[in-house]
Amino acid sequence: MSATATPDREGTPEREGTPLPPRVVLGRASLLAGRTVTALVEFEAAARAARTPAEIRLAAHHEALVHAVRGSLDAADGILARAYDDDPAPYSGVGAEPTDAVARAARALLAVERLTPEASAAVRSLDAGTPGLLPFALLADTRLSLAEGLPHRTLDTLDLLLPQLPARGALMADIAAASRIDAFALLGDLRAAGRIDTAGGDLTRLARARLVLRQGRPAGAATLAGAILTARGTPPGQRAEASLLIAWATFLRTGRVDAALATSAARWMLATGARRSLAMLPASARAELAAAVPADVRDAFARAAVGVVAAPEVPRIPPLTRSERRVLAAVRGPVTLDAAAHLLGVSRNTVKTHLTSVYRKLGVTRRAEALVTGERLGLFDGIESMP
């Protein structure tokens, strides 16, 4: 690091060793803690209090990064397009990454969200060795690999980068948990996905809703996504994803798509150019959603989906009741029907009746097949064999 001062446009030097502006420090701490609204407030305040063009650019690029994380793509675009980039003076404060590195992270997330041809190069340009930007490099990388239908690469990236972190923070934990859930779910290992700690933030809750949908529980998925949609402060990108999930879950449950939600999400995607959410939907879901939106949106929606890898199809399995799931859990292993009935405190005929219903819903004829399917779908998660 150079020991000489670099003058800014106003002729005021930015000296090495200058501490980061206090509001930038607070904004970064809030962002890494997953408090994106608070982070925006702090970075906006930092821009207003800035004394030099370099400080303005530092705050503005962090603000754009937060908007990119939240899915406010147009807001991030607007900030990055301003004249801040015209000033060549870098910010050299203590603990600061190069200002252009923050902007690159924001642009990479925007490219991934839109699945542009430049997305892969933008992700590769990020320096994973810069600790302050690692969460955003990880978010961009895992989102892109999942959207490209490469869940194995997602898991490899997580295994490679996470051990390098001495402390992860809430945002990093949220990114890691959500990415693992989605990766295992896309691989069809719903049991492994269900064992991931879901005490994270909105990203994890959305991934959990997608998992529950793949487990054949569309009503539960709609409930989880609905809570995200109606929560105060939910970022626009996650609102759109939740809307798509509810529309898809409603179709799986009732055979009808929630046209209002589908239209709202489709219009947001078309207005912002966001296409990544489509990669989390199977082709059949995309077709049903496209059929539900108005004609003026339908063709544009179909064009937006061109080239976007579709997620694996979700079998339309009728949801098992809690009693049916408990009976199925009770007959794991070399357990007789009489023993299962005793464990559950019900009659042998009740066990037989529930098992018959389970076999019909799962499309199997034998207990062993039902147990294998139940494990794959995560039907035993949270269910106790004992009453």
Dump pLDDT digits (tens) for 36-57.
999 999 999 999 998 888 888 8
pLDDT of 242-284, one tens digit each? 999 999 888 887 888 888 888 988 999 999 999 999 998 999 8
Each of the 387 residues of the chain gets a pLDDT tens digit; together they read 223 333 333 333 344 446 788 999 999 999 999 899 999 999 999 999 988 888 888 899 999 999 999 999 999 999 998 845 555 455 555 444 556 888 999 999 999 999 999 999 999 988 766 667 888 999 999 999 999 999 999 999 999 877 766 556 789 889 999 999 999 999 988 889 988 877 778 899 999 999 998 887 888 899 999 999 999 888 888 899 999 999 988 888 788 888 888 898 899 999 999 999 999 899 988 998 999 999 989 999 989 999 999 998 876 667 788 899 889 988 888 888 999 888 889 999 999 999 999 998 888 888 988 888 887 776 776 665 434
φ/ψ of residue 94, rounded to 5 = -60, 130
What pLDDT does 7 receive? 34
What pLDDT does 385 receive? 42
